[in-house]
Amino acid sequence: MLTAALVGLPLSGRSTVLNLLTGAGVEVRAFATGRAETERGVANVPDRRLTYLADMYHPRKVTPAQLEVVEVPGLVRGSSEGAGVGNRFLAEIRTVDAVVHVLRAFTDARVPHPEGRIDPLADLETVELELLMSDLGVLERRLERLTTGKRKAADEAERRLLERCVAALGEGRSVRSLDLGAEERSLLAGFGLLTEKPAVWLLNVDEGQLTGDDPVRRRVQEAAARAGVPLVVLSAKIESEIAQLGPEERALFLSDLGVEESGIDRLARAAYSALGLISFLTAGPDEVRAWTIRRGATAQEAAGRIHSDIARGFIRAEVVAFEDLRAAGSMARARELGRVRLEGKEYVMADGDVVNFRFHV
Ligand SMILES: Nc1nc2c(ncn2[C@@H]2O[C@H](COP(=O)(O)OP(=O)(O)O)[C@@H](O)[C@H]2O)c(=O)[nH]1
Ligand SMILES: [Mg+2]
């Protein structure tokens, strides 16, 4: 299962968001206490296609896609140089697959901001600088080894690549922003560079900042568009209230806010998508289920997600796009309309493909 890390300054709302995503029951505190462990949990990725298929098949079980979420504690200004406990956790972020930057825009006198002012873009810069410095340290140590050791021709390509990365970081640019080929990316993969990981920004706002022309929200939206990073705007406080409601009240509450979906649901899907993941679906009277694959996975790889025997004995995949199935109203009708295709091993799966694999054992 792939992992997304919630990263941010203390008291930005990470624990609140982790609880909302995973129901992990992590303690939420109004003051930064310095006590710090990595908290983790598993989040369901909400998918309305599953609800629709469940209405169609009345299965015994509905299984959504999932991703792991961890809260990275203790990042403050100076962490990469050993301030606070942050340095330890920078190493921990190296193992995750994507980073969610939790940015505080809410104002609350009972929750003191560690830097004494509300400025989400400045907070982002503070945290990104720590990630950048940490990457710089990793690359410089490696470069030193490459230049002082016996110089091998095979190391030359790596050395040039690392120098390019170091130059970018030195100018305050992330490794993500570099235009790298597949070979270069795989050379870098082992370093777990923090600024190379896909990112999502989460702006945690007050209720009043959710709608209308809020200048803070607008500035962050513009910066996200410039950086090409997906942005989710939500109020963790309101999301916590929504989470207490039953399904009907919840729908009413959301329609009062003028939205169809809670911010937390949007966040889960944004992180899933930033991780490069899509879902294919299987449906029957036993189970309706979303299965996670990488974007670009083939039908045979998808079959292997369910069982290695299905991949090995793969004959054909019967595939219908979810939207085609919905338009047809039933699998039988979709078949009559010629919407159900037979695909081979090499077929590249699309998000929302409803699939039945034919295989021999
Ligand atoms: N007013 C307000 N308070 C919030 C919001 N999100 C979190 N908080 C509060 O801020 C404090 C710190 O939240 P927490 O999730 O523990 O932050 P963390 O340190 O980043 O894990 C807690 O008292 C939360 O109740 C919000 O959207 N609005
Ligand atoms: Mg916390």
In a domain, 349, yes or no: yes
Average pLDDT in the chain: 91
Q: Are residues 89 and 196 in the same domain?
A: yes
The per-residue pLDDT for 86 is: 60
Residue nearest to atom 26 of ligand 1 (CA): 237
Ligand 1 atom with least separation from CA of 32: 19
Ligand 1 atom with least separation from CA of 106: 28
Q: Are residues 202 and 350 in the same domain?
A: no
Structure-block tokens of residue 93: 């972020």
What's the number of CA atoms in the CB half-sphere (13 Å) around residue 309? 2
pLDDT band at residue 162 using 50, 70 and 90 as cut-offs: very high
Q: Average pLDDT in the 155-165 region? A: 91
Pocket test residue of 217, 237, 242, 267 for ligand 1, highest count of atoms within 8 A of CB: 237
pLDDT at residue 277 is higher than 70: yes
Ligand 1: residues within 6 Å at CB?
A: 8, 10-16, 28-30, 106, 108, 111, 204, 235-237
Ligand 1 atom with least separation from CA of 71: 21
C-alpha to C-alpha distance for 24 and 20, rounded to whole angstroms: 8
Q: Are residues 249 and 315 in the same domain?
A: no
Q: Are residues 220 and 351 in the same domain?
A: no
pLDDT at residue 5 is higher than 80: yes
Q: Are residues 244 and 336 in the same domain?
A: no
Pocket test residue of 6, 14, 16 for ligand 1, highest count of atoms within 8 A of CB: 16
CA 149–ligand 1 middle distance (angstroms) = 49
Q: Are residues 306 and 208 in the same domain?
A: no
Model-level pTM?
0.90
In a domain, 42, yes or no: yes
Which domain does 337 fall in, by range?
Answer: 296-359
Q: Are residues 197 and 346 in the same domain?
A: no
Total domains in the chain come to 2
Q: Are residues 228 and 344 in the same domain?
A: no
The per-residue pLDDT for 260 is: 83
pLDDT at residue 262 is higher than 80: yes
Q: Are residues 207 and 306 in the same domain?
A: no
Residue type, 70: V
CA 111–ligand 1 middle distance (angstroms) = 7
pLDDT at residue 360 is higher than 60: yes
Burial class, 147, CB count within 10 angstroms (exposed 0-12 / middle 13-18 / buried 19+):
exposed
pLDDT tens sequence across 335-356: 999 999 999 999 999 999 999 9
pLDDT tens sequence across 122-140: 999 999 999 999 999 999 9
CA 76–ligand 2 middle distance (angstroms) = 13
Ligand 1 atom with least separation from CA of 10: 19
Ligand 1 atom with least separation from CA of 102: 20
**Ligand whose nearest atom lies closest to the CA of 118:** 1
Contact 18, 41 (CB under 8 A): yes
CATH number of residue 226's parent domain = 3.40.50.300
3-state secondary structure 54-95: HHHHCCCEEECEEEEEEECCCCCCCHHHCCCCHHHHHHHHCC
Contact 89, 315 (CB under 8 A): no
Q: How far is CA 204 from CA 83, 118, 235, 237, 239, in A?
A: 25, 11, 5, 9, 10
The per-residue pLDDT for 321 is: 98
In a domain, 152, yes or no: no
pLDDT band at residue 288 using 50, 70 and 90 as cut-offs: very high
CATH number of residue 339's parent domain = 3.10.20.30
**Ligand whose nearest atom lies closest to the CA of 11:** 1
Residue nearest to atom 16 of ligand 1 (CA): 28
In a domain, 25, yes or no: yes
In a domain, 32, yes or no: yes
Q: Are residues 331 and 233 in the same domain?
A: no
The per-residue pLDDT for 39 is: 87
Ligand 1 atom with least separation from CA of 8: 20
pLDDT at residue 82 is higher than 80: no
Q: Average pLDDT in the 218-239 region? A: 95
C-alpha to C-alpha distance for 126 and 132, rounded to whole angstroms: 10
Residue nearest to atom 8 of ligand 1 (CA): 13
C-alpha to C-alpha distance for 271 and 274, rounded to whole angstroms: 5
The per-residue pLDDT for 34 is: 57
C-alpha to C-alpha distance for 18 and 100, rounded to whole angstroms: 11
The per-residue pLDDT for 85 is: 58
Q: Are residues 214 and 335 in the same domain?
A: no
Residue nearest to atom 14 of ligand 1 (CA): 13
In a domain, 318, yes or no: yes
In a domain, 195, yes or no: yes
- In 3D, which of 117, 50, 111 has the Cα closest to residue 269? 50
pLDDT tens sequence across 29-70: 766 665 567 789 999 999 999 999 999 999 999 999 999 999
In a domain, 147, yes or no: no
The per-residue pLDDT for 23 is: 83
Contact 6, 100 (CB under 8 A): yes
Q: Are residues 102 and 29 in the same domain?
A: yes
- Domain edge (last residue) among 273, 308, 330: 273
- Cβ neighbours, 10 Å, residue 110: 6
**Ligand whose nearest atom lies closest to the CA of 28:** 1
pLDDT band at residue 1 using 50, 70 and 90 as cut-offs: confident
pLDDT at residue 84 is higher than 70: no
